[in-house]
A and B are shown apart, each in its own frame.
Chain A
Amino acid sequence: MTSLYTPGTCIRHRARPNSGHLGSLLCVLCVLALLPQTADADEVHVAVAANFLVTLREIGAEFHRQQGHSLVISSGSTGKLYAQITHGAPYEVFLAADAQRPQRLEKEAYAVTGSRFTYARGRLALWSREPARVDAAGQVLVTGKFSHLAMANVRTAPYGVAAKETLVHMGLWERLAPNIVQGEDIGQALQFVESGSAEVGFVALAQAKKRATGSYWLVPQEYHAPLTQQAVLLRRGSKHAAARAFMDFLRSTAARQIIQRDGYDVP
C-alpha cells in the first residue's frame, strides 16, 4: 500500500516537516485494529441479577475447580438483562432475581422449555455502613433522620420492587418518596450506601452480610412478595455442554451450600 501523502507527478509542493507523524499514526492504528480477539469455547456466558453476583463468583470458582469450565459474568438488574436477552445478547444462562422474567423468556422461546428452576429465595435488608444507625426493628425508617434512602430501580429490579412494597406496607412510601435515590440495580444501591452518599438503603441480605461494618434490619418476609430467584437455560446455551453442566451444578449440594451460606434460602 502506498502512503497517502506520496507526491504525485503533477506538482511539487512545500517541504513537509510533519508528514512522518500521520504515517506512524496510521501504522499504530492498523496494528491495534488487528489485535486478536480472545475466545474460549469452554466459557459459559452468564447473565446474573446484581444481588447474586458475588455469590455466583464463588459458585463459579467451585465449578471451575470441579469441572474446569469458566464463567463469563455480566450483571445488571433483572429487567435490563431481560431486555438485552430479547434484543439478542449472547448469554447462555440467566440467573434472575424473580420468577416472572424467566417464565416470560420461556414462553417467548428465548429460553429452553423445562430448564427453569428456583435456585434461591432472596431476603431484603435495610443496611447502613454506620454501626448504630439501623435498629433491629427497622424503626429508623419511621423516626430516624436521614436525607437519602437508596434502593434498586423500582421498575426493573425485583429488589427495588420489594423495597417499594415494604415501604407501602409500612405506610411510609409517600412520606419517604422525596428521600429515595434509585440505583440502576441493587449493586448500585449498595454502592450508594457504601460510599456514604446515602445513609441507609435497601439491599440484598447477602450483600449486607458481606460488609465488614454497619448495621442492618432483616425485612420480614410478609412485608413484600417473595423474592423467588429463578434460573433458566437460554436458547444460545441449549447445545453447549458446559452451559448445561453449569445448570446442573447450580442444583448440586456444593452450590446450595454456598448459596445458603451467603444468606439465601434454598428450596
Chain B
Amino acid sequence: MLRKAQARRHPSPLPFRVTMDTTPIWITLRLAAVSTLILLMLGTPLAWWLARTRAWIKTPIEAVVALPLVLPPTVLGFYLLIALGPDGWLGATWLALGGASLAFSFTGLVIGSVLYSLPFVVQPLQNAFESQGARPLEAAATLGAAPFDRFITVAVPLARRGFITATTLGFAHTVGEFGVVLMIGGNIPGKTQVLSIAIYDHVETLEYAQAHGLSIGLLAFSFAILFMLALMNRRHARRAVA
C-alpha cells in the first residue's frame, strides 16, 4: 500500500526502502521524544541540585553541562564513537550485559542526543528553580511538608514555565541535531537515519525535490516551536504586569 503510494509520487519507483519515505520523520520524532523524557528525568534533579547547592563543585559542573553549547559536535561524536564502539568502555559493558552494539544503533543515538541537548533542558530548569527563591519552600517546611513533598508540590509547579521551555527546547534541539548523529549513527535507513541526515543524503545524491520537502517541513516545525514559546513567554509577562 505504502510503497505503491510512494511509487506514484516519485518518478523512479524503487521497490526497496530508500530515503524518500517518511521513515526518517518517525525515527526523528521517536528519538527526540525518548531523549527528552530521559533528559527531564536526569535533568530535573541535576538542575534542582545546581540551583540549591553552594558547594565549590557547582561551577565546574555548570561548565560541563554547558559544554555541548560550544563544542563542535564532532568532538562529542568522536569521543562517543570511541566510548560506544565494541572496544569502548560503555560499548563493551553494554555488550557484556547482553545488549547489541551501541554504536550505529538507536540506543546509541539516544545516548548521544541526551548529552548533546543536556544544557537546553538543565539551564531553563535551573533558572526556574533559582528564581523561586527559598521562601516558598521554607513556608512549606514550616507547615510540616517533607523535602520530597515540598519539591513535588511547591517547587515543580512554580517552575512550570521552566519545564515547558526545557521540554520544547530539548525536543526541538534533538530534532535539529546533525553532527553527533552523523558520526555515531552511520546513516542507516530505517534505524539511525534521522531527518537531518536524510536531507544531507538527498542533497548528496542530487535529489533536491526530496531535500526541499523535508527541509521546508523542518523549517516550519522549528519556527512553530519557537513562535509558540515566545508567545507563551509574552502572555506570561503580560500577566505578571497585570
The number of residues on chain B lying at the interface, defined by a beta carbon within 8 Å of a beta carbon of chain A, is 60
In the bound assembly, the distance between CA atoms of A9 and B85 in angstroms comes to 49
Q: Are B30 and A74 in contact (CB under 8 A)?
A: no
Q: Assess whether B167 is interfacial by the CB under 8 Å rule.
A: yes
A179 to B106 CA separation, bound complex (whole angstroms): 40
**Chain B 1-39 interface mask (CB, 8 Å, partner A; 1/0):** 000000000000011111000010010011011101100
Q: B189 is contacted by which of A5, A73, A191, A194 (Cβ under 8 Å)?
A: A73
Whether B30 lies near A87 (C-beta < 8 A) is: no
Residues from chain A with Cβ under 8 Å of B163 in the complex: 22
Chain A residues close to B by CB (< 8 Å): 4-11, 13, 16-19, 21-22, 25-26, 28-33, 35, 37-40, 43, 45, 50, 53-54, 57, 60-61, 64-65, 70-76, 84, 87-90, 185, 187-188, 190-191, 194
- Give the A-B contact count at a CB cut-off of 8 A: 153
Q: Which of A45, A65, A73, A88 has the most CB of B within 10 A?
A: A88
Asked if B37 and A30 sit within 8 Å, CB to CB, the answer is yes
Question: Considering only CB atoms, which chain B residue lies closest to A16 in the complex?
Answer: B157
Given A4-B152, A72-B16, list of 14 further CB < 8 A pairs? A10-B153, A11-B140, A18-B161, A21-B232, A22-B164, A33-B33, A43-B17, A61-B16, A74-B187, A74-B193, A75-B205, A84-B186, A87-B85, A89-B188
Residue ID in chain B nearest A39 by CB atoms: B190
B81: interface (CB < 8 Å)? yes
Contacts of B15 in A (CB 8 A): 61, 64-65, 70
A211 nearest CB neighbor, chain B only: B206
Can you name 7 A-B residue pairings with CB atoms under 8 Å?
A8-B152, A10-B150, A18-B160, A29-B33, A33-B37, A35-B26, A39-B190
Report A-chain residues with C-beta under 8 Å of the C-beta of B161.
18
User: How far is it, in angstroms, between the C-alpha of A76 and the C-alpha of B205 when the chains are bound?
Assistant: 11
Instruction: Select which of A9, A35, A54 is within 8 A of B205 by beta carbon.
Output: A54
CB distance from B51 to the nearest CB of A (A): 17
Min CB–CB distance B94 → chain A (angstroms): 11
Chain B, 184-210, CB within 8 A of any chain A CB: 186-191, 193, 201, 203-206
How long is the Cα–Cα vector from A38 to B105 in the complex, in angstroms?
13
Tell me the B169-186 residues at the A interface (CB within 8 Å): 171, 186
Shortest CB–CB separation between residue B168 and chain A, in angstroms?
7
CB proximity to A under 8 Å, residues B18-64? 18, 23, 26, 29-30, 32-34, 36-37
Q: How long is the Cα–Cα vector from A70 to B37 in the complex, in angstroms? A: 34
Q: A13-B154, A61-B16, A188-B204 are in contact. Are A89 and B103 (CB under 8 A)?
A: yes
Specify which chain B residues have a CB less than 8 angstroms from the CB of A19 in the assembled complex.
Answer: 157, 160
> Which chain B residues border A190 with CB–CB below 8 Å?
206
Mostly, the A contact residues are mixed
Q: Report yes or no: B14 in contact with A61, Cβ–Cβ below 8 A.
A: yes
- Chain B hits for A187, CB < 8 A: 204-205
Whether B30 lies near A35 (C-beta < 8 A) is yes
Chain A residues whose CB sits within 8 angstroms of the CB of B103 once the complex forms: 84, 87-89
A64 vs B13: C-alpha distance when bound (angstroms): 12
Partner of B186, one of A33, A64, A89, A191: A89
Give every chain B residue within 8 A of A6 (Cβ-Cβ). 152-153
B86 within 8 A of A: yes
Whether A30 lies near B33 (C-beta < 8 A) is yes
Query: CB distance B37 to A29 under 8 Å?
Result: yes
Q: In the bound complex, do residue B188 and residue A74 qualify as a contact, i.e. CB atoms below 8 Å apart?
A: yes
B127 interface residue, CB < 8 Å from A?
Answer: no
Least CB distance from A260 to B in Å reads 20
Q: A32-B30, A35-B30 are in contact. Are A53 and B205 (CB under 8 A)?
A: yes
Contacts of B186 in A (CB 8 A): 74, 84, 89
In the complex, chain A residues whose CB is within 8 Å of the CB of B34: 33
Tell me, rounded to whole Å, the shortest Cβ–Cβ distance linking A66 to chain B.
11
Please measure, in the bound complex, the distance between the C-alpha atom of A6 and the C-alpha atom of B143, giving whole angstroms. 18
Residues on B with C-beta less than 8 A from A72 are: 16-17, 188-190
Q: Is the CB of A4 within 8 A of B29?
A: no
State the Cβ distance, A235 to closest chain B Cβ, in Å: 12
B32 CB contacts on chain A under 8 angstroms: 32
Give which listed residue, A4, A33, A64, A88, contacts B30 with CB less than 8 A.
A33
Instruction: Tell me if B91 is interfacial: C-beta within 8 Å of chain A.
Output: yes
Given contacts A13-B157, A18-B164, A88 and B16 within 8 Å (CB-CB): no
A17 to B, closest residue via Cβ: B239
Indicate whether B158 reaches chain A with its CB closer than 8 angstroms.
yes
Instruction: Say yes or no: B167 contacts A88, CB within 8 Å.
Output: no
Please determine whether B164 and A21 come into contact, CB atoms closer than 8 angstroms: yes
Once bound together, how far apart are the Cα atoms of A70 and B15, in whole Å? 7
Is B120's CB within 8 Å of the partner chain A?
no
- In the complex, chain B residues whose CB is within 8 Å of the CB of A7: 153, 157
B104 touching A90, Cβ below 8 Å: yes
